[in-house]
Amino acid sequence: SIHHGGSRGALIVLEGLDRSGKTSQCSRLVSHLEGKGISVEAWRFPDRKTDIGTMISSYLANISQLDDQAVHLLFSANRWEKRLSMETKLRSGTTIVVDRYSYSGVAFSAAKGLDIEWCKAPETGLIAPDLVIYLDLPPEEAAKRGGYGTERYEQLEFQRNVAQQYQKLRDSTWKVVDAQLPVEDLEMQLRKFALECIATCQKKTISPLWP
């Protein structure tokens, strides 16, 4: 068996608007957990390294154009192509900290005007996270943080809409943290939530989205 004494890893997802600090908090958290001797990996979606990820990447860079529905399904397929290795890792006892997941998938596409239930449908059956940490930042504050880049979606009005869509997806696995806190305080909160989650998820089975 790939089980180590029945203990499994936790699936921990970080979500939030662009510039909310997700990527930096992900790597800080992973380093901390590694330092405690916990088996852990940092993942991110979109995973731009796969063939599907390459298509997504050129869409985001405005190099290619795609229907909103088509790109939505590519983002979803990009999670599906990683589902089996995700499950294997979790069962082998490795915790995965993910920068964005299905919530980004639904929030960004619904912000374009696609029906939210339609957006959720292809995510059904992916692995449900044990914990979602939402880095809460007003879109106006996000925009002040050095300005947005040149990728698609990096505009204030659109980010406002994304923030509204995220609110519709909140459930009992979510912890909302104030992304305007000093980074060290934020880091301490994330460590606490993550360690609690890793300790308690072992009693829960791996289950599918959406709960």
Binding site for ligand 2DT (CB under 6 A): 45-46, 60, 75, 100, 104-105, 108, 153
CB of 75 to ligand 2DT, least distance (A): 3
Of the candidates 82, 169, 167, 94, the one whose C-alpha atom is nearest the C-alpha of residue 127 is 82
CB of 45 to ligand 2DT, least distance (A): 4
CB of 196 to ligand 2DT, least distance (A): 25
CB of 185 to ligand 2DT, least distance (A): 23
For ligand 2DT, the closer CB: 77 or 206: 77
Would the CA dihedral through 138, 42, 170, 130 be positive or negative? negative
For ligand 2DT, the closer CB: 101 or 201: 101
CB of 181 to ligand 2DT, least distance (A): 21
What span, in angstroms and rounded, lies between the C-alpha atoms of 107 and 5? 38
What span, in angstroms and rounded, lies between the C-alpha atoms of 21 and 178? 11
For ligand 2DT, the closer CB: 80 or 153: 153
For ligand 2DT, the closer CB: 64 or 200: 64
The separation between CA 76 and the C-alpha centre of its own chain, rounded to angstroms, equals 12
For ligand 2DT, the closer CB: 73 or 181: 73
